[in-house]
Amino acid sequence: MLKRAGVACLAIQLFVAPASAADINVGILLSTTGPAAAIGNAERNGTSFGASEIAGHKVNYLFLDEASDSTAAVAAMRKLFQGSSIDILVGPTTTPGSFAVIDPAVEYRVPVITLAPVNALVAPVDARRRWIFKTTTNDDHEATPLFAHMKKSGVRKLALIGFGDSYGDAWSKVSAEMCAAAGIALVADEKYARTDNTVVGQILKIVAADPDAVLIAASGAPAALPLLQLREKGFAGKVYGTLGATFGDFRKLTGAQGDGIFVPLSPAVGAASLPDGHPAKQAALEFIQRYEGKFGAGSRNIFAGSAYDALLLIERAAPAALKVGAPGTPEFREGLRSAIEGLKGLAGSRGVYNYGPNDHTGLDQTALTLGQLQKGEWVAVP
């Protein structure tokens, strides 16, 4: 029997009293402060819909903030396991934090559902990464519809500007590979910090390189900065964004100047514009209805969807894990890991999940389509 309820997971509750041995303890480790706070808080909202009970076992959601810091993420992961005997971890938010918690996950033999996007977190599935899963698409999944459109549109020269961290570095790699395959010259690769308030220097270099198109590898409000300064400098070519541009204040900050940008579109954001036969459309519409019913019209976003789907995976996997061990035991944790790895055909807000021994991403190319910002709305386009 599954019951849903809002997540009651204040950090102060963690060490007041130990939970019952029969309870399932889910650690939630997110960046609710620091540079990635906007993403982390959206993810925390997404955890508001987890099951309060699974197969007769109460579920405790135990939250800690990792403050967008990889060192803090490791400390928090250890605190969650040593203080509360978590059975599984959801998070961290960021790619650096997610890489950082792999070692303690292996040490404690605790499965982790990271909310970060980079494929290297889960592939190849080896002795360490066997404990790590994710509910996000890979960089190449995002890049595929963008570069297909570039090639179709006759783009010959591309410039890239992205975050100066592992997220941006991953996009530098995938862009170089995709450009080589599509016969497109990558004429500039610029970086900026998530907290920068200007990228004029980088934009001047990009404009000087005379590209046909620019790809912005960033998320949320910081993704608006390069676009606005490209427009200010008179760039008239095509602009592409990564999935993160569909989140947060990007639309608000760019206004009409944002219209026309092409992005990979997730069902969690653009379900209504997808064809009725799309395999995740109904599940995504349910997520959007529930999420916007609680947090307001237009509040849906991919990051909340990732967290929502992570708890859906746990909800589906826990009954099988309970057959091999009790919560709080190594057997139960291994049971959860194995059960998630065996999930097939599970429709969530971001797509249909099909995990396997060599696939801890679960999502494939069907989870994304080409989208565009049109009159302030994200819609699927041919």
pLDDT at 11: 42
Domain boundary assignment for the chain: 2-137+285-364, 140-265
Contact 209, 202 (CB under 8 A): no
pLDDT at 10: 39
Are both 2-137+285-364 and 140-265 of the same fold?
yes
**Preceding omega of 92 cis (within 30 degrees of 0):** yes
Closest C-alpha among 190, 175, 174, 168 to residue 96:
168
- pLDDT 10s digits, 161-203: 999 987 899 899 999 999 999 999 999 999 999 889 999 999 9
Q: How confident is the model at residue 17 (pLDDT cuts 50, 70, 90)?
A: very low
Closest C-alpha among 163, 151, 154, 136 to residue 217:
163
Q: Which CATH class is domain 140-265?
A: alpha beta
Give Cα separations from 241 to 177, 264, 370 (angstroms).
17, 8, 11
Q: How confident is the model at residue 309 (pLDDT cuts 50, 70, 90)?
A: very high
Q: Taking the mean position of all CA atoms in its chain, how far away is CA 193?
A: 19
pLDDT at 283: 98
Instruction: Tell me: pLDDT of 53 over 60.
Output: yes
Q: Could you please report the per-residue DSSP string of 19-45?
A: PPTTSEEEEEEE--SSTTHHHHHHHHH
- pLDDT 10s digits, 210-259: 999 999 999 888 999 999 999 999 999 999 999 989 988 899 999 999 99
pLDDT at 248: 82
Residue where the block lists tokens 């249909």:
352
> pTM for this one?
0.86
- pLDDT 10s digits, 28-51: 999 999 988 989 999 999 999 999
Give Cα separations from 31 to 23, 71, 115, 275, 373 (angstroms).
25, 12, 11, 34, 27
Q: What is the mean pLDDT of the chain?
A: 93
Instruction: Tell me: pLDDT of 21 over 60.
Output: no
3-state secondary structure (DSSP) of residue 158: strand
Instruction: Tell me: pLDDT of 12 over 50.
Output: no
- pLDDT 10s digits, 59-85: 999 999 999 999 999 999 999 999 999
Query: Tell me, what amino acid is at 5?
Result: A
Instruction: Tell me: pLDDT of 16 over 50.
Output: no
Q: How confident is the model at residue 261 (pLDDT cuts 50, 70, 90)?
A: very high
pLDDT at 18: 44
Residue where the block lists tokens 């019951």:
3
Instruction: Tell me: pLDDT of 13 over 60.
Output: no
Q: Which position has the higher pLDDT, 5 or 318?
A: 318
Instruction: Tell me: pLDDT of 8 over 80.
Output: no
Q: What's the CATH number for 2-137+285-364?
A: 3.40.50.2300
Give Cα separations from 258 to 104, 150, 298, 321 (angstroms).
42, 18, 17, 47
